[in-house]
Chains A and B, each alone.
Chain A
Amino acid sequence: MFKAKRRLVLLAGAALAGVALAVVLLSGWASGGNSAVTDVAGSTNAVLYSAGHRPLAPDFTGTTLTGSRLSFSSYRGRVVVLNFWGSWCAPCREEAPMLAVAAEQYRGAGVAFLGVDVRDTTASALAFVRNFGIPYPSVNDSGSVITLDFTAVVPIAGTPTTLVIDRTGHIAGAVFGTATYTELSDILAKVTGGNG
């Protein structure tokens, strides 16, 4: 009699423990509980990283579409808008005019724009640049290696993705998907205004 009761208690305890574990796992995992990442107001795919919680952008070197070597470390000390794009990518075509305008607009403020051309070929990429009047250089990433390095620190799921990197080389904000002018300028305001 006592043995049966004890077994029942054991089973009930085990079941409760299992349920508790499941609840903890499923809930705690999803949220991540990270208050250092905040959404940009009015946007569902743009985030800001608060100072002190900004991931370090990996360094890279590559070949631009015009054939010259480019090293990302040469941009240290400047705010950089890094845009991952491809000529085949429809949402990238949608935001391209905005980026061309923004690049010209922020040139005076010392913000540099740089493109990473993903899974593309030179002829099509150059045609894209010509078509949309992109004034800044892009680095060839047909093998997605640069993208791979950056995905280790921010969750890049595809193109377009736009990252804003502060003067110390840390990623301060990101737009995952088509970027709007409002989102970009909001992020740049936080980054350039004071706490680079």
Chain B
Amino acid sequence: MTDVRAAEAGPSGTPAAERGQGAPGGQDRPDVSAYGLADWLKWAWRQLTSMRIALVLLFLLALGSVPGSMLPQEGTNPAGVQQYYTAHPALAPWLSRLGLFNVFGAPWFAAIYLLLFASLVGCVVPRTFRLAGSARTLPPRAPRHLTRLPRSAEYSTALVPAQAVDVAARVLAGHGFRLRRPAADGGADGDWVSAEKGYLREAGNLLFHLALLGVLVSVALGGLFGYKADRLLVQGDTFADTQSALDEFYPGRFVTAADLGPFTVTLNQFEASYITSGAQRGQPSSFDAQISYTTHPGGPARTDNLEVNRPLSVDGAKVYLIGHGYAPVFKVTDARGQVVYDQATPFISGSSGNFLSEGVVKVTDAQPEQLGFTGVFVPTAVEINGILQSAFPAADNPAVSLIAYAGNLGLNNGVPQSVYQMDTAGMRQLTPQPQLLLPGQSLKLPGGQGTITFTGYVPWVSLAITHDPGQLPALVCGIAALGGLLLSFMVRRRRLFVRARAGGKAGSPQGSTVQVGGLARTDASGGFEEEFASLAAELRAAHERAAAPIPAGHSQHEGE
């Protein structure tokens, strides 16, 4: 990654004139028609795998992500997309054609990252071969003049050159360097040892890039073979992990209905607690859903506590607690005195705050006419300026306000409707004003149409069920990428050379002058100076230690 690539050349196999082998005066332009298709492909490939193009693609990737964060995206916010269409009717279709409402699934975005990964692979694979090759080759021979290297040191020692180099080799080997000594008959070259270290840097670099590729593959795996689903579950109810029991189902391309389940989940109890005083009054402090589940229908029931940040893992899928709300319980008796509706009805909280929730009650089989009610549920009812509002998210003073309708709900023709919305086009309003009911109270409908009783409320939770086979591979690849990154940053490829020439200090033919030279192949992150300084000092100290046991040798040669 930090090696500079050679300047991009033209297609290989260029006519000789291009290579400048012609006469200096020959300014003939290269004959383009002499390039075949293979040449152009090779040139394009070389361009693609160049650093410059990688840089451009990285920029495009970043730039392309920007609209994905600014505009509503169909996958996560379909309602927002609809709103955008109504707010910008002329602009929205064009944005849609450009794929800007689904940026991360758009073909042009895919093209960017696929090209980037092609460039990555084209870069990484040859370098892997090269690394494997270089791991087998020996370090280069020591240069003649080590003082010309970026870092060098020179000192004298009492040891003879061969000994000095031996000692140096031992010290360097102790530091983990790979060594090279001259051939046995290389006497003309002098005594030297060449040392190299830091191959892990390139290995870490390649590991990082390959691991990124692994992340991409894992994401694709999850997208193809995984699924996401939502389910709203009222307290006391059970659901089985099958498509018809799910409110929303987003399967991967290769997922079929039979791939789900077969676990079941029952919501036994849900509790939410809120902060009752202070500056954060009304903020939630904890959510707790007590569930029991089986891994297959009829299996032993196990209990678990679902919380935010604490999903349930079952049958290869994960069940998450996403949200919660209130479901007021209504009992409706129709004109004929039959109980035609008796269940908890989930109401959805909006932006009004403190869980003021809205919903509808559709009594589809009331006789003689279908009945419908639109309602607002307030957990802690207060009336401010004649408007019903909720003062606190907990159900301290629950109340519901209803408007009654009778007529045709529009369901019998087979067109599905949302259970949270009612089409009042075919209905007439029975109650001119919204009617407020406290728990236990009933509303008698005018015209003898029946009665609705607000018997109480139960909480509901919304669950997300996901299955992602690419999740674990993505994590492993992510950690591998991080490891490779750290290796490539912390390890430096460096070379050290030690030469010993006969002749110590001037005037003493015994001993040798030791030259130490070193260079860091890539020292952009620094630190080699200190390492070289400490290595040079250590070598010198080792030489002195090796020479020291013969202190008499000094007085000996002085006497000679």
Which of A29, A88, A93, A158 touches B414 (beta carbons < 8 Å)? A93
Given known A142-B237, A157-B243, A158-B244, contact A88–B362 (CB-CB < 8 A):
yes
Q: How far is the CB of A117 from chain B (nearest CB, A)?
A: 12
CB of A94 within 8 A of CB of B340, answer no
Is the C-beta of A119 less than 8 angstroms from some C-beta in chain B?
Answer: yes
Residues of the A chain whose Cβ atoms lie less than 8 Å from the Cβ of B266: 143
Q: Which residue on B lies nearest to A58, using beta carbons?
A: B297
CB of A94 within 8 A of CB of B264, answer no
Is the C-beta of B506 less than 8 angstroms from some C-beta in chain A?
Answer: no
**Interface pick from A120-128, A166-174, A187-195:** A120-128
Residues of the A chain whose Cβ atoms lie less than 8 Å from the Cβ of B334: 127
Q: How far is the CB of B329 from chain A (nearest CB, A)?
A: 11
**Interface pick from B208-216, B250-258, B385-393:** B250-258
22 A-B pairs (CB sep. < 8 Å): A87-B364, A93-B364, A93-B414, A119-B245, A123-B343, A124-B340, A124-B365, A127-B334, A127-B364, A127-B365, A128-B365, A142-B238, A143-B266, A144-B240, A148-B242, A149-B297, A151-B258, A152-B262, A155-B258, A156-B242, A156-B243, A157-B244
Q: How far is the CB of B10 from chain A (nearest CB, A)?
A: 16
Q: Which residue on B lies nearest to A88, using beta carbons?
A: B419
Chain A, interface residues (CB within 8 Å), range: 35 or more
CB of A147 within 8 A of CB of B240, answer yes
CB of A90 within 8 A of CB of B262, answer no
Given known A123-B342, A128-B365, A131-B365, contact A90–B244 (CB-CB < 8 A):
no
Instruction: List which B319-347 residues lie within 8 A (CB) of chain A.
Output: 331, 334, 338-343
Chain A 122-164 per-residue mask, 1 if CB under 8 angstroms from chain B, else 0? 1110011011000000000011110111011101111101000
Chain A 171-184 per-residue mask, 1 if CB under 8 angstroms from chain B, else 0? 00000001000000
CB of B264 within 8 A of CB of A118, answer no
Is the C-beta of A196 less than 8 angstroms from some C-beta in chain B?
Answer: no
Q: What 5 A-B pairs are tightest by C-beta distance, nearest first? A: A94-B414, A127-B365, A143-B238, A144-B245, A148-B240
Q: How far is the CB of B363 from chain A (nearest CB, A)?
A: 8
CB of B414 within 8 A of CB of A128, answer no
CB of A130 within 8 A of CB of B241, answer no
Q: How far is the CB of A85 from chain B (nearest CB, A)?
A: 11
Residues of the A chain whose Cβ atoms lie less than 8 Å from the Cβ of B258: 151-153, 155
Is the C-beta of B314 less than 8 angstroms from some C-beta in chain A?
Answer: no
Given known A90-B411, A151-B257, contact A128–B341 (CB-CB < 8 A):
no
**Total chain B interface residues with beta-carbon distance under 8 A:** 42
Residues of the A chain whose Cβ atoms lie less than 8 Å from the Cβ of B342: 121-124
Give complex CA distance A95, B411 in Å: 12
Is the C-beta of B261 less than 8 angstroms from some C-beta in chain A?
Answer: yes
Which of B261, B362, B417 touches A148 (beta carbons < 8 Å)? B261
CB of A88 within 8 A of CB of B242, answer no
Chain B 354-366 per-residue mask, 1 if CB under 8 angstroms from chain A, else 0? 0000000011111
Chain B 222-265 per-residue mask, 1 if CB under 8 angstroms from chain A, else 0? 00000000000000011111111100000000101110111010
Given known A127-B338, A159-B244, contact A148–B416 (CB-CB < 8 A):
no
Is the C-beta of A49 less than 8 angstroms from some C-beta in chain B?
Answer: no
Q: How far is the CB of B225 from chain A (nearest CB, A)?
A: 11
Question: Apart from A90-B412, A94-B414, what are 17 other A-B pairs with CB-CB below 8 Å?
Answer: A88-B362, A88-B364, A95-B414, A118-B245, A124-B343, A127-B334, A130-B338, A131-B367, A143-B239, A144-B238, A144-B239, A144-B242, A147-B242, A148-B240, A149-B262, A158-B243, A161-B244
Residues of the A chain whose Cβ atoms lie less than 8 Å from the Cβ of B367: 130-131
CB of B414 within 8 A of CB of A90, answer yes
Give complex CA distance A161, B242 in Å: 14
Residues of the B chain whose Cβ atoms lie less than 8 Å from the Cβ of A158: 243-244
